[in-house]
């Protein structure tokens, strides 16, 4: 629990409430918690077991802050990683897992999210 609070304070700006309006602050907090949950679900679904409890700082330092070059190969975008990148194998495995994820397709004419089909 303390680790979660520390991450929310340090890496998700929980200590910087943007307004003096209660409703806006509630919305801000909900978005922070959503972002926090997205990062942790991504970590659990895409990275090996050893990263299941990794902090946001560790994920950022090992996988997001690295030199790379985005190039176009035909009609595809290609991210070229450095040859000496020490986490290359894990990074590429995470990319494969993302590619394999199946997302539900939205039915034609239906709304999504919290919107109901009222007539």
Distance, CA of 69 to CA of 61 (rounded, Å): 17
The reply to whether 72 falls in a domain is yes
pLDDT for the residue 72: 92
Which of 13-17, 22-26, 30-34, 51-55 bottoms out in mean pLDDT, i.e. has the lowest? 13-17
The reply to whether 117 falls in a domain is no
CB of 2 closer than 8 Å to CB of 10:
no
The reply to whether 71 falls in a domain is yes
The reply to whether 113 falls in a domain is no
Summarize pLDDT for 105-119 with one digit per residue, the tens: 767 666 655 555 555
Specify burial of residue 91 (Cβ count, 10 A radius: 0-12, 13-18, 19+).
buried
pLDDT for 36 beyond 70:
yes
Summarize pLDDT for 47-72 with one digit per residue, the tens: 999 888 888 888 888 888 888 889 99
The reply to whether 109 falls in a domain is no
Q: At a CB cut-off of 8 Å and minimum separation 6, what does 62 contact?
A: 87
CB of 87 closer than 8 Å to CB of 95:
no
pLDDT for the residue 111: 60
Q: How many domains does the chain contain in total?
A: 1
The reply to whether 83 falls in a domain is yes
The reply to whether 55 falls in a domain is yes
* Owning domain of residue 94: 2-100
């Amino acid at each position: 629990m303390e680790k979660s609070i520390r991450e929310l304070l340090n890496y998700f700006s929980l200590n910087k409430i943007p307004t003096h309006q209660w409703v806006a602050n509630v919305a801000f907090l909900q978005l922070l918690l959503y972002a926090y949950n997205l990062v942790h679900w991504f970590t659990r679904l895409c990275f090996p077991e050893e990263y299941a409890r990794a902090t946001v700082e560790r994920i950022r330092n090992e996988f997001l802050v690295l030199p790379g070059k985005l190039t176009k190969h035909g009609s595809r975008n290609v991210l070229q990683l450095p040859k000496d990148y020490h986490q290359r194998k894990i990074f590429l495995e995470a990319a494969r897992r993302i590619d394999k994820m199946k997302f539900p397709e939205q039915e034609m004419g239906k709304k999504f999210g919290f919107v109901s089909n009222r007539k």
